[in-house]
Structure 1
Amino acid sequence: MDESMEILNAVLIQEGWPLLGNDFDLLADAGPLIPDSPGVYTCLINDGTQLPYPQGQSAIIYIGESKNLRVRLKEHRDRSRECKAAVDSPAYYPRYEWVAARGGICLYSPAPAAGMDTQTMETRLLQAFENWYYTIPIANKQRGKGAYEPPAVAHPHAS
C-alpha cells in the first residue's frame, strides 16, 4: 500500500470511518455501483507515477468530499473522459489533465452513519496529507471547508 494511503486510512480508522477502497476507474465506460451516500474520496494516478511533493512522493492528486458519492465520482469520471477526448480543448483542472494523461482511480469511504460531517473529515485528511508532505495534493485548491488546525506535533520527517 502507498504510504500516503496508510496515512489517510489511519485518520479514517481513528474517526470510525471505513478504509478508502473500492477502486473507481476514472476513464472506464462504466464502473461498480457507488453508494449515493455522503463520504470522502481521493483521486490517484494509477500508472505507477509518484508526484514529487516537498517531503516525499505520492500518487494522490486530490482529496474531496461529497454529499452524494455516486453523483460526484461520476462527475469526475465524465470530466476526465471529456478531457482525454478533447486533446485540443482548453485545460480543465489539473486533476482531469493528470487522469487523462496517465489514468486515474478514485478510492472512497462512505460516511459510517447518516449526518456524519464529510467536510470536517475532508479537512482532517487534507491536514494529515499536509502534515506528512508539507503541502496539500496538487489538484486541491484549498485546505477544506471545515475548521483547519495547524499541525500541533513535530513532522515525522524532522530529525
Structure 2
Amino acid sequence: MATTAGTKTAPTPIVISFWLWVVSAVLSVISGVTAAMSAGTVAEAAAEQSASGGVLSSSVLLISTAVGAFIVGALHVLFAFFMLRGRNWARIVLTVVGILSVLGSITGLIALNPLSFIFVIVTVVAIVQMYVPAAREYFAANKR
C-alpha cells in the first residue's frame, strides 16, 4: 500500500510502520477485551464497587472496557493514517502512545504473557520504522 503525501510516495518503512500500528491496535483491542472478560477482573472490580457503596454490574464493566479498547484501537489507526500521509505530529503522538503502551505492558511481560510479548515487539518495531533515515526524509519533505 503506497500513498502519497503532497508529491512524495510514502517509503517502505512508513508503510511497514503503518501496518504494524494496525496490528498493534488489533492486539490492544484483543488484550482489552480478554482482560475485561476474565472472571477475576470482573469479580474484583464488582466487589470493590460494592464495598465502596457503588453498584457496578459485571456486564457494565465488560461493555465499558470493550468499548474503551475499541476506541483506543480506532485512535491508533487514525493516527497511523495521518502518519502514513506524512504528518509529523501524528508520528510524535504515536511515539508517545507507543512508549506508554510498552511501559504499561511490563506486568504482562513479567507474567510471561505471549500477547504482551508480541504487542511490545510490534509496537517497538513500528516506532523504530518511523525514525529510520528514509522516514525522516519523508516527514521533512512533507512539512507544512
- TM score, norm. by length of structure 1: 0.28
| Structure 1 or 2: more strand by fraction | 1
The structure whose Rg is larger is: 2
Between 1 and 2, higher relative CO (CA 8 Å, sep ≥ 6) is seen in: 2
- TM score, norm. by length of structure 2: 0.30
| Structure 1 or 2: more helix by fraction | 2
